[in-house]
Amino acid sequence: MRKGKYEIIITRHAFLRAVRRRIHPDLIEDTIQTGLMKKFGKNRVKFVKALKKMNIVCLDEIIGNIIKIVTITKKVKK
């Protein structure tokens, strides 16, 4: 998967966390492709996608031209 000039790699840890939190892989891909990209720190980035009932957040690390997804969470809206 690619996002602009970056290649996206999903770690095994992130995939297992997404499965445990019942986040469908299509939601992860949609979050990365169309979500809001926020940079923080020296080499960190997160993708956020707001849905009706929850927010999907992918926390990442930038290494050269690669974005490595470290973990995936969801926050349920009240």
Q: Which fold has domain 2-76?
A: YaeB-like fold (3.30.2310)
Return the pLDDT at 7: 92
Spell out the domain ranges in the chain. 2-76
The pLDDT tens digits of the residues spanning 24-55 come to 999 999 999 999 999 988 899 999 999 999 99
Share of the chain above pLDDT 90, in %: 86
Q: Where are the beta strands (DSSP E) in 1-65?
A: 2-3, 6-10, 36-40, 44-50, 54-63
Return the pLDDT at 67: 92
Residue 13: helix, strand or coil by DSSP? helix
